[in-house]
Amino acid sequence: MESLYLLIPIALVFCVIAIRLLIWAIDNGQYEDLDKEASRILMEEEAGKQKPPPQEGNDNVD
> Residue 4 belongs to what domain range?
1-28
Establish if 10 belongs to a structural domain. yes
Segment holding 8, helix H or strand E: helix 4-27
Q: How many domains does the chain have?
A: 1
Which residues of the chain, if any, have pLDDT below 70?
A: 46-54, 57-62
Which one-letter DSSP state was computed for residue 60? -
Segment holding 35, helix H or strand E: helix 34-40
Between the alpha carbon of residue 55 and those of residues 16, 44, 50, the distances in Å are 56, 22, 15
